[in-house]
Structures are given as structure tokens and as C-alpha cells.
Structure 1
């Protein structure tokens, strides 16, 4: 709930301020809220899932996030208009509406976790594992680096595709649809994840998808028509 409050407040105040330092500060509040929410939500999924259910439940969680990324750009694109110099005003409106939608989400968060009673043997808590031990485990640093690269690519795409679209004369509503197409492809990828892992293996799938995603990100700068951009974004969403 604290994360959702920070996201909602950061959105609302970002839409209300007019100075760059204030917008940067409230953007930081939004980022902190997002971090709090994701850590809390992922912890709940881990605690509420039996070992055999974790892949499935985390898949459902990330599909839910992708559905939000699919709906959000379409809704924002419908609100934002670049006509008669109104882009700043309508972008602020989109942020305020986002804050309101986020605030409504609070109504579903108070009883989201069912606390389990400790078993008869759960008298002694397990010892905490030092962070250095976790970071030293094989595959963890590489996994962190890949996660940073993927999330950075997604955020840069979301932030700068509207700028590319404005430069090429693509309407904001169309840009919203393009971003939603990327999110829809990421849902399709998660549904196909198990057979792909069975066919290629985890390491080969990671390597191939990261390589293709990098090439497709670079391809965003090419002066291609909108339909080709849509195809590239769908492939990029699937790979990321």
C-alpha cells in the first residue's frame, strides 16, 4: 500500500507542477513507490506459493503487469493530444488520471495476503544469508545484469518512442497503440515460455532473446513506416 500511495502521489504531483526540478523530484517518488510495490508484491507471491507453484504464480503476476502496460498506453494515447500546442496540458491530464486509477487500486490491497499459522516445527527462524553470499552465487550477477539491461531497454522505449513518434509525425494515440502492442507480445511470450524453455533451454533462450532484442532496439531509429514499426515492436516485446 505504501508503494501504491507513492506512485499515485508522484503521478498527481508530476501532472500539477511546472518546473523541471519539481518534476524530477516527483518522478523519483514514483520510482521509489514502484520499487516498494514490486518488492512487496513479489514477496507475497513467493510466500504464498508452494515450490512447485512458484513459476506459474510469478508468471500470472507478470502477465498482470503486462496487461496494465497494454491498457495504460492506449488510455493515455486517447487522452493526449498534440493539437494547438496542447501536448503539455493533455499529458498532465493523463498523469492525473493515472494517479486516480492507482488510488482506486488501494481498495484491493488491504487483505491481499492470507497469513499462514506457523507449523509445530517452525519454532526457530532460519539464519539470514548475507548479501555478499547471494551475490557470489553462480549466475546471480549475470542475472542482475540481464534484468537491468531488459528493464532499462523497456523504460527507454516507453520514454522515447513518443519523442520518435512526434519527430516522424505519428499521432500520440498511435504511439500508445504501438506501446500496447509490445505489451501484448510480452503476454504471448509468457504463455509460450514453458515450451520454449523445453525446446531451447534457459541459457540459449536468454542469449538469443537478448541478442535479438538489442538488434530490434537499434532498429527503432530506422525511418520505417508505421506498420513495420509495429512488427518490430511486437518482436521486441516478445524477446524482452
Structure 2
């Protein structure tokens, strides 16, 4: 991608991402177990999962505009890690469903701040030729956390099912210990981010900015491709306008890319929240639920590592289409395999296939959104993408919880699979070739 010294900023971001995502994916499954211990059912788990996205839904666009104005984003990324840590502490201290709801919302806000700032850094500094690889490595760090967090939580909670351990004070103590560890992991990202130079990326200012770039966008990587320069020039008139949500929405391809992103992220959230419930209904211990979620995260990590190679061989459209449809099919079979057949190893294989497919789509939707808009709109456009994601994260868990109430926890996962399939069908019918 670039000389090693030029990538220091990316490696620091990756380290912070590993810490925060390990914390996030440790905290969220354990939160489901804590709610069950407090007497909550599937509907409450769905509502708590939706609460995680409430504040991000409200503040995503304003934070995106802020990220575009800041000369350096080191502090914003560190604040995201700190707020996530506060949310984790609230989950650990929380003794009621209301406190868990509020703490989940704080956790989601911290994750939003971290993610917007991190994505905007890549949108600024990575050239179009290296953008897929940069987003791929950044989201690969997320996948490491998605693998490590559930493994750690499963190891801490142990091999007893909730039904066997729900009346045990020791089990409740292990739940709180896992939540404390998750909070500490998030807080560790704060000093890591301060290893990054405050003026990182400004050394490229000697290079002329792309047409239509404003002062905040002049920290991009040098050597932009001719296609990128042409696209920026064509979008200069549009880029001079304020990038409102309505204007971004009207850009060709943006609605489709956002639907795909929403569906992929909603699937991740619902898997994280509802797999403990599926496991509990099937008599699967928390440690094995952790392994299943970790296999999903590990497979997504592998797909993101090989994403640059895949994106050279196949179109982004084809890869996103496979991501949506393959994950819908594979993950839809996981609940019946566990509940009806008790085939844990087949469930592991399906989680691996589904996780690999899920891992392809998210970084590509980042690239598709970034390159569909003028360069000066990238921060707000990525924030708008996150608004769409958060709408899905609010609505989908609530719907999944309502579906799961009569059908059981498997219904929540099937609901998310249906949205994945619908997004894939839309892209197939539209015949997108991005």
C-alpha cells in the first residue's frame, strides 16, 4: 500500500480499533446474559440492542461534519474509546433494566465517535487506489475484536448454561467481571491514540489538493489516481454545496449502498445479541456461544485480509452481492442446526461461511459511498452511511425481538437474514456494476 513509515497512523488506528472492538464484542453478548439474569426476555434484549443505536442515530451527521472540520482526529478517536469505557462501567454497575438501557446507549455513542473519526481519517489519507485495502485493514481490526471479545467472555462465563447457573452468585460475579474487563479494554485505547502525531498527515500538504477540496481535506495521501481527480473535478460544483442528507441521498447508488450496509451491520448486531438466547434455548453453554461468535469474527477477518486480492479479480458489485446472499443463507440455518439437530460442528461451519461473506461487504460499502460523492463530502457521506446503519440498528433489533417473542430467538436471526436477502435482491434486479 505505501512505505512503512507512511502507514504509522494506520497501524495506531488498527491497534485502537482492536482494543475497542474487543471490548464492544465482549460487552454486548454478556449484556444479553445480564438481562436474562435480571429476568428480561427476548423483547427486552431486542430493545436493549436498539438502545445501543439511539444516540448515534441522533448525532451521526453532526459528528460527521465535525470530523470534516477538525485538523486532526486523534483526540476525537480517543474520546470515542473513553465514552465506550464509561458505557461498559455502567453495564457493570447496572442492577436494573433501565440502567442497562442507558449504558447501552452510551456504549453506542462512544462507538459512533470512534468509527466516524476512524473512517474519516482513511477517507482523507487513503488514495482511491489504496482505499479498499485501507478500509479492509481497519475493518479487519474490527473483526479481530469480534473474534477475541466473544472468546474472552465465553471463557470467563464458563461451561454452565444460564439455567444451571442463574441462581449462582458466582455466575453473576463472572458476568460483572467480564463487563469490567470490557470497560478497561476500551479505556486502554485512549493512551494508544496519543501515540499518533497530532499533525499526522499534514506532511502531504505540499501536494496540490484535489479539485474542490477545502482546507480540511488537504491531508489526503499523495498520488491520487487520474480517475479520482476526474471524479473530484466533476463533483466540484456539487461539492461546493453543503452536504445535507437529502443531497447525499440523491447521489446515484447511495440508497442501494446504504441498504446493503444497513443489512450487513444489523445482522452482526442481531447475531451478537440473539446467539446467547439461541444457545440458551438449545442448551448450549456460554463458552460455546462465544466460540460460535468468535468463528464468525475470525472468518470475517480472513475475508478482509484477502479483500484487496478479491477486489482486483471481481467487481465490487459482485462481491457485495455474494456477501449479502451467502450470509443470509448460511446464517439462517444456524439456529435450526443447533436447536433441532444439536450439530455444533455444523453450526461452526455455517458461522464460518456466513462470517466470511459478512466480512466482504462492510469495507466495500465504505469505499462505494466514499467514491460516489465529491471528495469534500466524504466525511458527511460516511456519517450519513452510519445514520442509515443506526436506523437499522434501532429498528431491526426491535422487530427481531418482537418476532422472537412468538417464534423464539431463532426468529430474530431469520428476520435479519430476510433483510440481507432483500438487499441482495435489490442489487441483483438493479444490475449495479460499481
Flag the structure with more relative contact order, 1 or 2, with Cα contacts below 8 A and sequence separation at least 6.
Answer: 2
CA distance in 1, matches of 2:249, 2:128: 22
Going from structure 1 to structure 2, the CA distance change for 1:159 and 1:120 (only over 3 Å counts) comes to closer
User: Corresponding residue for 1:99?
Assistant: 183
Q: Which runs of 5+ in 1 are unaligned?
A: none
Select 2:124's aligned residue among 16, 29, 47.
47
CA distance in 2, matches of 1:17, 1:231: 36
Going from structure 1 to structure 2, the CA distance change for 1:31 and 1:229 (only over 3 Å counts) comes to same
- Contact persistence 2:80–2:111 (CA under 8 A): yes
Work out whether 1:116 is the aligned partner of 2:226: no
Work out whether 1:141 is the aligned partner of 2:261: no
**What is the RMSD of the two structures over their aligned residues, measured on CA atoms?**
2.2
CA deviations on 1:111-145 (whole Å, 9 max, x unpaired) are: 425140544866x8373542223211111111111
Secondary structure at the counterpart of residue 252 of structure 2 = coil
CA distance in 2, matches of 1:204, 1:120: 35
CA distance in 1, matches of 2:354, 2:102: 31
User: Corresponding residue for 1:232?
Assistant: 350
CA deviations on 1:174-223 (whole Å, 9 max, x unpaired) are: 11111111111111212332443444422222223211211223212202
Select 1:127's aligned residue among 224, 240, 257.
240
Q: Which stretch shows the higher mean deviation, 24-33 or 56-65?
A: 56-65
Q: Which runs of 5+ in 2 are unaligned?
A: 1-77, 215-238, 359-434
Work out whether 1:6 is the aligned partner of 2:83: yes
CA deviations on 1:72-118 (whole Å, 9 max, x unpaired) are: 11111111144543444322221111001111121111242514054
User: Corresponding residue for 1:167?
Assistant: 281
Count of aligned pairs between the two proteins: 240
CA distance in 2, matches of 1:146, 1:220: 21
CA distance in 1, matches of 2:307, 2:270: 24
- Contact persistence 2:324–2:357 (CA under 8 A): yes
- Contact persistence 2:136–2:308 (CA under 8 A): no
Please report how far the alpha carbon of residue 173 of structure 1 lies from its aligned counterpart in structure 2 after TM superposition: 1.2
User: Corresponding residue for 1:177?
Assistant: 291
Question: TM-score normalised to the size of structure 1?
Answer: 0.91
Work out whether 1:89 is the aligned partner of 2:207: no
CA distance in 1, matches of 2:149, 2:208: 46
Secondary structure at the counterpart of residue 92 of structure 2 = helix
> After TM superposition, where is structure 1 displaced by more than 6 Å over at least 4 residues in a row?
none
Question: TM-score normalised to the size of structure 2?
Answer: 0.52
